[in-house]
């Protein structure tokens, strides 16, 4: 029985600096999505063996969709560990792997002097990779990466992002708390019910397909085909559907808690400018809102003085204080009204 306990995916630390795909480009309406979609077919189903290199294998598969050439996951892992500052600890998170491809790029597989057969620590130690290879890797460097977020659930945010980038052949880099039993799922179809124990495992999502299972909903007495995300794993072709697995909406929304990213060759400075534009729209709306408030409270013209006999002041019951709307609450409300993502 294969041992995947060294999958290698670590939880994703929060970072508000991540570019958000939906906020910058917007996501298409779900009605625009076809019933089935498959992006670029995998160039190769790789096998990471019993190692913790899944983030490197998954990110290499995503990059290969755009580059159209086989890349070395071992080099990516070494550069991911170089960013971390050490190479002996287990695994990596998705963002650090993305940063490695953004800073160093990817080395073509034919130029790699080391493979997983040379041992995990040998390939993970960046000092074992000649520095002149970094120049070659720059040819396959990514300019930026985006967090896959939007107005839908995780399942549909991934689908909408894939569809929005179909012309650029961009897939999604993500991961899940993998269960041991899933390795032997019939035809690679991940079940709705599963055990609690698992470990982080990263991979590529490149489309969705309709599947009819015992869990499919019933409409008019007939079971309905439902979409499943198509995942390319790195555990060889002997598992799943020749190395491909299919995830239902329930599992994606509940278990894809390690983040999701997609690569781009867009200048990060341009992206920052787009985010600034969004904030300018928000500030403009706030200014309009404040102006509207001032219009609702016009100045009252002074009335002529009238002699009024003094009367005893009535007792007034204390009123509960109402907290003023904070700036953060105001921004959230304006974003919701204008269908913006801050």
What does the DSSP assignment read for 82-110? HHHT-SSSS-B-HHHHHHHHHHT---BGG
291, burial (CB in 10 Å: exposed 0-12, middle 13-18, buried 19+): exposed
Across 275-284, 290-299, 314-323, the highest mean pLDDT is recorded for 290-299
Q: What is d(CA 118, CA 120) in angstroms, rounded to the nearest whole number?
A: 7
Q: What is d(CA 112, CA 115) in angstroms, rounded to the nearest whole number?
A: 7
**H/E segment holding residue 116:** none
Q: Does residue 251 or residue 284 have the better pLDDT?
A: 251
- Under the phi-then-psi rule, with left for phi > 0, alpha for psi from -120 to 50, and beta for the rest, what region is 62? alpha
**Range of weakest confidence among 93-97, 151-155, 171-175, 213-217:** 213-217
Helix (H, G, I), strand (E, B) or coil at 254: helix
Rg (CA), the chain: 26
pLDDT of 1: 40
Q: Region 65-85: what's the mean pLDDT? A: 97
CA distances from 79 to 84, 179, 202, 258 (A): 9, 28, 17, 20
pLDDT of 335: 57
pLDDT of 39: 93
pLDDT of 278: 54
Q: Region 203-207: what's the mean pLDDT? A: 98
Q: Which residues contact 337 (CB under 8 A, 6 or more apart)?
A: 285
**H/E segment holding residue 282:** helix 268-295
Q: Does residue 293 or residue 90 have the better pLDDT?
A: 90
pLDDT of 127 above 90: yes
Residue 7 pLDDT grade (very low, low, confident, very high; cuts 50, 70, 90): confident
CA nearest neighbour of 126 among 85, 96, 166, 169: 85
Q: What is d(CA 161, CA 179) in angstroms, rounded to the nearest whole number?
A: 26
Q: Does residue 274 or residue 261 have the better pLDDT?
A: 261
The tens digit of pLDDT for each residue in 236-245 reads 999 999 999 9
Angle formed at CA 341 by CA 36 and CA 289, multiple of 5 degrees: 140
Q: What is d(CA 57, CA 203) in angstroms, rounded to the nearest whole number?
A: 7
Q: Which residues contact 148 (CB under 8 A, 6 or more apart)?
A: 21, 22, 157, 158, 161, 172, 174, 260, 261, 262
pLDDT of 307 above 90: no
Helical H segments across 206-260, by residue range: 249-255
Sign of the alpha-carbon torsion through 188, 193, 198, 204:
positive
pTM of the entire structure?
0.78
What is the maximum alpha-carbon separation in the chain?
A: 101
pLDDT of 213: 75
Place of tokens 């009204």: 337
In this structure, the chain runs to a length of 342
Helix (H, G, I), strand (E, B) or coil at 131: coil
Place of tokens 């659930």: 153
Helix (H, G, I), strand (E, B) or coil at 312: coil
Angle formed at CA 142 by CA 131 and CA 132, multiple of 5 degrees: 10
**H/E segment holding residue 74:** helix 73-84
Q: Region 279-302: what's the mean pLDDT? A: 59
54, burial (CB in 10 Å: exposed 0-12, middle 13-18, buried 19+): buried
Q: Does residue 53 or residue 336 have the better pLDDT?
A: 53
pLDDT of 276: 52
**Range of weakest confidence among 17-21, 43-47, 143-147, 327-331:** 327-331
Per-residue burial over 72-104, b if 16 or more Cβ lie within 10 Å, else e, is bbbbbbbbbbbeeeebeeebbbbbbbbbbbbeb
Q: What is d(CA 153, CA 148) in angstroms, rounded to the nearest whole number?
A: 11
pLDDT of 297 above 70: no
């Amino acid at each position: 029985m294969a041992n995947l306990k060294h999958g290698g995916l670590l939880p994703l630390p929060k970072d508000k600096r991540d570019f958000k795909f939906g906020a910058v480009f917007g996501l298409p309406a779900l009605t625009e999505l076809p019933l089935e979609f498959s992006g670029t077919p995998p160039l190769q189903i790789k096998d990471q063996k019993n190692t913790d290199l899944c983030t490197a294998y998954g990110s290499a598969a995503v990059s290969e969709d755009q580059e159209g050439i086989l890349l070395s996951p071992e080099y990516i892992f070494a550069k991911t560990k170089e960013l971390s500052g050490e190479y002996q600890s287990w695994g990596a998170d998705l963002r650090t792997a993305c940063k490695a491809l953004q800073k160093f790029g990817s080395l073509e597989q034919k130029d790699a002097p080391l493979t997983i057969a040379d041992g995990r620590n040998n390939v993970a130690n960046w000092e074992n990779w000649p520095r002149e290879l970094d120049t070659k890797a720059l040819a396959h460097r990514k300019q930026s990466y985006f967090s896959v977020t939007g107005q839908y659930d995780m399942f549909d945010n991934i689908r909408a992002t894939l569809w929005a980038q179909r012309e650029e052949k961009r897939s999604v880099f993500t991961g899940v708390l993998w269960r041991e039993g899933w390795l032997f799922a019939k035809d690679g179809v991940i079940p709705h019910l599963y055990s609690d124990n698992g470990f982080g495992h990263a991979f590529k999502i490149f489309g969705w397909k309709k599947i009819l299972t015992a869990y499919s909903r019933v409409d008019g007495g007939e079971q309905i085909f439902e979409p499943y995300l198509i995942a390319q794993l790195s555990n060889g072709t002997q598992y799943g559907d020749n190395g491909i697995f299919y995830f239902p909406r329930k599992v994606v929304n509940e278990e894809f808690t390690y983040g999701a990213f997609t690569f781009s060759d867009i200048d990060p400075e341009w992206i920052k400018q787009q985010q600034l534009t969004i904030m300018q729209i928000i500030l403009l709306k706030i200014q309009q809102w404040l102006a509207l408030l001032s219009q609702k409270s016009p100045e009252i013209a002074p009335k002529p003085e009238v002699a009024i006999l003094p009367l005893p002041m009535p007792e007034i019951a204390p009123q509960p204080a109402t907290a003023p709307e904070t700036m953060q609450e105001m921004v959230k409300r304006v974003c919701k009204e204008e269908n913006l993502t801050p």
